[in-house]
Structure 1
Amino acid sequence: MSPVERARDGVARLRAWLAGARPAKGPDLLATRLLMLTVAFTAAVEILILAPSAASFHERWLRDRIQSAELASVGVEALPYSAVEPETAEQLLAIGGVQAVAVSDQGVLRLLLQAPQLPRTPDFIDLRNQGVGARLLDPWRTLVGHPDRSIRVRAAPRYRSGDYIEIVASAEPLKAELRTYLLNTLLLSLVISAAAGGLLYAALAMLVLRPLGRVTRSIERFAEDPHGPTEPPSDRADAIGRVERELARMQTEVRQSLQSRQRLVALGEAVARINHDLRNMLTSAQMASDRLASSADPQVARALPRLERALSRASTLATNVLDYGKSEEPAPERRRVPLKAAVLAAGEDADLDPAGVRLATTIPARAAVQADPDQLHRILVNLMRNARQAILNDPERDGRGRVEVSVRREGETCVVTLADDGPGIPPRLRERLFQPFVTGAKDGTGLGLAIARELAEAHGGELRLLDADGPGATFELRLPD
């Protein structure tokens, strides 16, 4: 893929991302879900209110019956021999709303007032040590109980001595009053809960839904027209305010990225045309230099090597620019590569010469690594060529130097170290050395190291510059097996 196609593809992917980020139009599901949650929470609050309220009313009703019966029992005991006429007993029981009254004193149970025979065995409730679960369940047992159901209630006396006082009362009056109480409580709590839920929903709509709607509309408008006007963020200090400001910042960065990519498209088209024409010119110049090689003119013979080197550098520059403009390097096809043979072949292609910049190796004969042979060759050639150019550009070296390559194993990692005795890397370039178009050489492109690192990372390894005390530069290539 050419640089122009790469830039166009980047713009298309960015626009596709913006289109995918656009929220789907339709009913506001968030508002609907929020309303449903408000209703559900209101219902839960109703249950939490009704259950303890019913238990409290149920217990209070029973204690009122106990107190009425206790007062009646005091009057009965005041009579001689605690004798009560049947009619008087019925009146006292009717006043207390009970069917029977008994008192336990020092372990002796005395039946003070007794009603006629009951049709069903009463259910027993001891208010002295009743558990929370039983208190909550008793009202609902009363509501669904049999019409002839009675309740035998035991509690500690308040107005007289004794261990406890016990009554038997019909459950029907309690059921009727409990039903009326629950209905009134339900209606009142519904009104209160509805008002509270409505206020809560209105507050959430104002504080959350409205700002989110503004953010959503901003995203939609930006997706439709990234270069159009955008709504400025609010000055809120909460999380939504931060979201609005971050969205505005991201929109600005995306807009700048779109503009930058559009400029890269135009620049890529120009570079592609210039590169194409330049390569044609270089081809013609190389053909002319080949014909000049047969000239007997001594001045031509002296100038010809310089011309060939200049043409070679120009051709390398054009090739590297096009290589770097590719969309992606192909995935490495790993195979077992003998390292010594690979280093020697790379040194030959990097123009290392025993008479000038020579190659020295300390590599075991059987050393090998699992790597893509072509990509490993490109990494080594780029490193060696950079080392050679650095030595040749040093006026104090007179074109002579050495590039030393060594190999060692660290567990499952093969470490290739390449060191030269050139002038080294200037401190100002060390941190940016592997960035494209960063170079310290006058005739370099600044792409060799960037391509080499990209190829090393494609293998799951890394390429880095080691700190060195003396002159020269030392690179370490780590490749996993």
Structure 2
Amino acid sequence: MPERWPHRPSFVSSLSARLLVLTVFFVLLAEFLIYAPSISRFRKVYLEEHVASAHLAALALQATPDNMVSQDLERELLFHAGAYGVVLKKPERRMLVLSGTMPSRVEITFDLSRGNFVMWIRDAFEALVQNENRVMRVIGISPKDPGVVVEVVMDEEPMRQAMIGFSARILQLSIVISLITASLVYLSLQWLMVRPMGRITRGMTAFRDNPEDASRSILASSRSDEIGIAQRELAVMQNELRAALRQKTRLATLGTAVAKINHDLRNSLATAMLVSDRLADIDDAEVQRLKPRLSEAIDRAVNLCGLTLDYVGSGALELRPSHFHLQELITEVGAALKSRQSPEGRLEWQNTVDFELDLQADRAQLFRVLNNLCRNSQQAGATKVWISAGKDNGRIFIDIADDGPGLAAKAKERLFQPFTGSARKGGTGLGLVIVRDIMRAHGGEISLLESGAKGTTFRLELPERRQVDDSGKIR
């Protein structure tokens, strides 16, 4: 099989690029969340500083003997305060202190002593998006004298330009911070996650190409985090799967050899059976005494060869489904069992299946299943076997019960395991494995309902109706 390496994604579509983009995005988002209250605070401080400057300008005016200054000085004071006019409010009176050429109207008023966090953010962004200058009245308590309220009439555009400059500095700083942070996060994630994940991916692909090559196993990591656990568990899984594959390969090779040996052995046993039959014609007491034991041993050997060949050579079962009455099939199974039983080991057979119960299945294979289970009961020492059936939730169940001694605990644990699940001495355990394969090929299942001193009961389950394609196969 040619080696296939995983397609290496381009940088744009790689996990590293996505992490880098996400890092930059979240850093910028965090900066924006910080920027909103920052620009609001900048605007408020800007207005408070102009209120303080206006108060200082008014104090310079009040320092004169007659509270009057020349127009040139007044314009200069207003220029430095950045205002059209300044009004001081004291508890006892309201007076106009400085006034230049006033605009025709004031478009908006802000009271610094009112509002909340959300309103200040809203007003800040509203000022940023203005395309034209607005004349605004700002009312605030003087930081120099809490008993004085200052009103300032001023343009909004200088404040807006200052806010834009502040925003540009914040943006530049945010970009620098985001790039530095993103680079550090990117390098950290590249080292901690992306590179280890790449090694895991390459290890999985190499293992897929040749699972039995031990050199392709991923190296276990000593890391204590999730990546390290994933690498160690993957290494364990690869080793366990490699061992299982090797065992399967050995078993497959062994199965092929056993199949060839069994084929030749069956031919030899056929000759032995012919000789055994000829021994029946010899009029000798010792020969007649040993002949049944010899025939029984040969029958067991032939049966073992047949089961082994069936198990080793069985692939996907080719079912030939048909409609038939279940009662008739069970009657045939009983007749076949009775024809093979000895006079001293009579088997009582009870068929309680309703004649009207019919099903769609491979008749020959289902006969094989029932015959196998009933023969097991007979060989286990049962004197009575009874079979019942019924329908439940669209499925047909068939119960095969006997009065035998029951299954041993060890046999129950390995009931459907080949070569280890036999319940009697000399058995192979293949019979129940083949029965299970046949039932699953029909979309059904076999299960052990109970087994004890009073007997054993197996249940077969089949779907009541299944689709059959044009070739007659059950789907």
Q: Specify the TM-score bucket, using the shorter chain as the normaliser.
A: 0.7 to 0.9
Matches within 5 A, 1:422-433: 422-433=404-415
Contact 1:123 1:152 in 2 (8 A): yes
Contact 1:119 1:148 in 2 (8 A): no
Q: CA deviation at 1:383?
A: 0.8
Q: Secondary structure at the match of 1:474?
A: strand
Rounded Cα–Cα distance in structure 2 between residues aligned with 1:180 and 1:166: 26
Q: CA deviation at 1:276?
A: 2.3
Greater Cα shift, 113-122 or 229-238 = 113-122
Matches within 5 A, 1:46-125: 46-73=31-58, 86-102=71-87, 112-118=97-103, 122-125=107-110
What residue is the counterpart of 2:26 in the other structure? Answer: 41
Q: CA deviation at 1:420?
A: 1.8
What residue is the counterpart of 1:444 in the other structure? Answer: 427
Rounded Cα–Cα distance in structure 2 between residues aligned with 1:276 and 1:311: 15
Q: CA deviation at 1:386?
A: 0.5
Q: 1:455 to 1:150 in 2, by over 3 A?
A: farther
What residue is the counterpart of 2:312 in the other structure? Answer: 325
Q: CA deviation at 1:418?
A: 1.9
Q: 1:409 to 1:259 in 2, by over 3 A?
A: closer
Q: CA deviation at 1:344?
A: 1.4
1:345 to 325, 332, 355: 332
Q: 1:365 to 1:214 in 2, by over 3 A?
A: closer
Contact 2:39 2:167 in 1 (8 A): yes
Aligned-pair identity in percent equals 35
Deviations 1:284-313 (A, max 9, x none): 4445556x3884646666665555444443
Q: 1:467 to 1:82 in 2, by over 3 A?
A: farther
Q: 1:354 to 1:270 in 2, by over 3 A?
A: closer
Q: CA deviation at 1:446?
A: 0.8
Q: 1:404 to 1:94 in 2, by over 3 A?
A: same
Rounded Cα–Cα distance in structure 1 between residues aligned with 2:441 and 2:136: 83
Gap runs ≥5 in structure 1: 1-14, 392-399
What residue is the counterpart of 1:252 in the other structure? Answer: 239
Rounded Cα–Cα distance in structure 2 between residues aligned with 1:165 and 1:23: 73
2:135 to 147, 150, 171: 150
Contact 1:120 1:148 in 2 (8 A): no
What residue is the counterpart of 2:269 in the other structure? Answer: 282
* TM-score normalised by the chain length of structure 2: 0.80
Q: Residue type of the partner of 1:64?
A: E
Q: Secondary structure at the match of 1:174?
A: helix
Contact 1:154 1:167 in 2 (8 A): yes
Rounded Cα–Cα distance in structure 2 between residues aligned with 1:288 and 1:126: 123
Q: 1:94 to 1:362 in 2, by over 3 A?
A: same
Q: Are residue 456 (structure 1) and residue 439 (structure 2) matched?
A: yes
2:350 to 346, 353, 360: 360
Matches within 5 A, 1:71-470: 71-73=56-58, 86-102=71-87, 112-118=97-103, 122-130=107-115, 132-146=117-131, 148-156=133-141, 158=143, 159-161=145-147, 165-219=150-204, 221-223=206-208, 226-228=213-215, 230=217, 232-286=219-273, 292=278, 295=281, 297=283, 305-326=292-313, 328-330=315-317, 337-351=324-338, 353=341, 355=343, 356-369=346-359, 371-391=361-381, 401-410=383-392, 412-437=394-419, 438-470=421-453
Contact 1:222 1:228 in 2 (8 A): no
Q: CA deviation at 1:274?
A: 1.0
Structure of higher RCO (CA pairs closer than 8 Å, 6+ residues apart): 1
Rounded Cα–Cα distance in structure 1 between residues aligned with 2:336 and 2:98: 120
> Root-mean-square deviation (CA), in Å?
3.8
Q: Secondary structure at the match of 1:278?
A: helix
Contact 2:403 2:454 in 1 (8 A): yes
Gap runs ≥5 in structure 2: 465-475
Contact 1:329 1:455 in 2 (8 A): no
Rounded Cα–Cα distance in structure 2 between residues aligned with 1:317 and 1:128: 102
Q: Residue type of the partner of 1:149?
A: R
Q: Count the aligned residue pairs.
A: 454
* TM-score normalised by the chain length of structure 1: 0.79
Q: 1:354 to 1:69 in 2, by over 3 A?
A: farther
Contact 2:397 2:462 in 1 (8 A): yes
Contact 2:326 2:357 in 1 (8 A): yes
